[in-house]
Structures are given as structure tokens and as C-alpha cells.
Amino acid sequence: MRINALSGIVLADILTEKTLNFPIVQRVRVSCSWLRPARSATLEFDSQSTAWHVKQSFNAAAYKVGGRKVRAEWPSGDQHQPGERPSARTLVLKGLPATALDRDIDAAIPKGSKPRHLSLDKDLDYDISLPQAEARIKSMLLKIGPVARWKLLTNSDSCVKLLAWFTHESHAQEALSLLHHAPLPFHPSGKLSVMLSPEVKYRVSSQTYDAVCAKRPALESIWKKDGVNLGFWSESTRYWHLTLVGKNGRVLARSKAMLEQVLFGELVSQEARGPAMGIPRMLLKQAQSLFSEEQESSGDESKKTEGSTKTEGSTKRKRSTKRKRSTKRKGRGARTTIQKSEKVQGGQP
């Protein structure tokens, strides 16, 4: 029992999900992401050192094309030892946006390091519409198990993300083991990235939501380093939905416990001011009575323990007294026998 309802704080162990009247849904979200169609470009420089410098700058994201990070590689036929600068003066840029133009690449490189020749490939690395690609990825997931919900995120310029909520958690784990880094069905050289994100959802009153918002900065400062995010959306003027998403179950469990301390504390605070929204007073009183009963039962158990201890002590004392009396009686009997024998011997001639 971790919190005393009678002192103004709710017992998390007594006030269950049904009692508090805000549903708690725990599930695992599967995130599948893949790169959008991209182009490649070939750059030729006047010197090896310039080519080397530009390559390092692109890979360190110091140079970007259209605000997007791209990869710079040596041509596949260039052979060199690890750690050595290759003799080639040619670079290949990969992962360029499909809409990139020659001038976009030229603008990304400073004046003193510009290539003497730039050639942009006309063909994309794969050519398939987004709805078609989405349908192919969904098909891969549905072969593992039924999915309760889908959501497609297209706000990134470099990749597409498909979120899936499996009906069973075991299917989510199987999707991770089978599909992470699997070749894309529409682009064999591309890879599918799969991540699991366990989440917890709450439905709370607007008053409880206000209390969480007041403590949100402090909570998020702790959760940020663990990669835990808290999302909100309004169902109506009376109710809000809170969604807590983490990288793994262990981290999410710790953050969930912190959030529920705020939720439970605010609910009892509302009850102290008046009937809390969505929480019948009768149920809170029932929780308080349950706590009282548990306290009384624990008190009775302690009294029984004390009583049994006293009984054991009394029994031991009685046994000791009986042994002493028995010993005394035996001693008196032995002395009487000796005295009688002495008298008989003294009466003999």
C-alpha cells in the first residue's frame, strides 16, 4: 500500500482503472520507415584534397542540399587502403532529393571548393508512388498478424514513416525481428527500418489535464534524456487524451509511474474541493473504506502477533515452574527415603 487515501492522496493500489474512470491502454507501436525516392550526382574536382574535404563536409552534414543531409562516396571502382586518401578526384553524392537541380548542389558547396564538373542523374533510384509503396509495406506487416490501426507520416523530406499498432504484442516483436533492415520490396538496395515504441494512453478530465500541464516542463526535462514523449489531444471541453510513448518498456514504466503520481494526486485534490469530474464520490469513499479495513486488519494481525507472543511467554513460564516444583518434590522424596533407612539401620542390634 503506497499512498494513504485518508490523508488526501489516492491509493494507486486501491483506486483501479475502473474506479478512476479514465481508461488506461497499454500497447506497442511499430514504426516502419524508408527513404523517399532519391537521385545521385557525380562531382569532379581539380585536386584530391578538395575532393576529400568536400566528402568529409557532406558526410558530417556541414554541407546540405535543400536542407537535407546526403551521402558522399568514392566511385565504386576506386581501390585504396583504409585510412588512406584515394587518388580519385571524383565524388558520388547519393540520397539527393528527387526535386534537386544542379544549382541546388552547386549552392551547397563554398566558392573555393566547387567542382569543375557536375553531372546529375536523371533517373530516380526507384520509381513508385507513395500509395503503392505504403500498400507493399502494409502487406509485409499483415503477413505477421492483424493490425488494429495505421498512420502514415509524410512530414519529412527524406523518409516516409508508417505506424502500425498490432492487436497482439508478440506480433510486434516478430515484426521487429523479421523486417528490421529487410530489403524494400520495391527497391532491393534500400532497407526498411523498424522500431518498437511502447505507449500508454489515458483519458482524463480537463481539470486533471490542467494539473499535468502545470508540471509538464518538470516532467519532460526528466523524460527528454530517456527519449519519452507526452502527447495531448482534446476529445471535448471536458476530457483530454494523454499519450506517453517511450523507446522501451523499462523506460516507459518509470515515466508512467511519475505521470500517474500527478494524475492520482490531482484526482483526490479535486475530491477535496468537491466531486471530481468523472469520479463518483461513492467510489472514492469505497476506496477509503477499503484502506481503513486494510489498516484495521493489519492492526488486528499485529495484536494477534503480540498476543501469541505473550501466550508463548506465559506457557514457557508455566512449564519452567512445573519443572522446578517437580524437582523439589523429587528432592524431598529422596531425603525422606534416606532418613527412613538410617532409622532402620539405627534400630538393628
| 23 closest CA partner among 226, 342, 243 | 243
Tell me which of 12-21, 36-45, 165-174 is least confident: 12-21
What is the predicted pLDDT for the residue at 42?
Answer: 94
Question: Domains in the chain, please, with CATH?
Answer: 5-34+130-273 (3.30.70.330), 41-47+91-125 (no CATH)
Global pTM reads 0.56
Cell of 97: 532529393
Cα distance between residue 5 and residue 232, in whole Å: 28
Q: Which one-letter amino acid corresponds to residue 33?
A: S
User: Which one has a higher pLDDT value, 233 or 59?
Assistant: 59
What is the predicted pLDDT for the residue at 21?
Answer: 45
In which element (H, E) is residue 325 found?
helix 281-347
User: Which one has a higher pLDDT value, 281 or 199?
Assistant: 199
CB 94 within 8 Å of CB 82: no
How many alpha carbons lie under 13 Å from residue 337 in its C-beta half-sphere? 6
What is the predicted pLDDT for the residue at 161?
Answer: 95
What is the predicted pLDDT for the residue at 19?
Answer: 38
Band of residue 76 on the pLDDT scale cut at 50, 70, 90? confident
> Is residue 181 predicted with pLDDT exceeding 80?
yes
> Is residue 291 predicted with pLDDT exceeding 70?
no
What is the predicted pLDDT for the residue at 332?
Answer: 55
What is the predicted pLDDT for the residue at 43?
Answer: 95
Cα distance between residue 309 and residue 262, in whole Å: 43
What is the predicted pLDDT for the residue at 287?
Answer: 47
- The DSSP result for 110-128, as a single string, is -GGG--SEEEE-SS-S---
In which element (H, E) is residue 38 found?
strand 38-44
Phi, psi of 245 (to 5 degrees): -120, 135
Q: Per residue in 259-283, pLDDT tens?
A: 877 777 655 455 444 444 444 454 4
Cell of 251: 523506460
Cα distance between residue 261 and residue 11, in whole Å: 10
> Is residue 63 predicted with pLDDT exceeding 50?
yes
Q: What percent of the chain has a predicted confidence (pLDDT) above 70?
A: 64
Cell of 59: 558526410
In our burial notation (b when 16+ CB lie closer than 10 A, e otherwise), range 115-130 reads beebebeeeebbebee
Residue 86 DSSP class: P
| Angle CA 35–163–209, to nearest 5 | 130
Cell of 191: 532497407
Phi, psi of 119 (to 5 degrees): -130, 120
Tell me which of 46-50, 95-99, 211-215 is least confident: 211-215
> Is residue 119 predicted with pLDDT exceeding 90?
yes
Kindly list the distances between the CA atom of residue 18 and the CA atoms of 65, 272, 284, 295, in Å, as whole numbers in the listed order: 53, 20, 12, 23
Cell of 13: 493500489
Cα distance between residue 104 and residue 144, in whole Å: 42
Tell me which of 115-129, 149-163, 335-349 is least confident: 335-349
3-state secondary structure of 59: helix
The conformational region for residue 323 under phi > 0 = left, psi -120 to 50 = alpha, else beta, is alpha
Q: Per residue in 28-43, pLDDT tens?
A: 789 999 999 999 999 9
Q: Per residue in 94-114, pLDDT tens?
A: 989 888 999 999 999 999 999
> Is residue 120 predicted with pLDDT exceeding 90?
yes
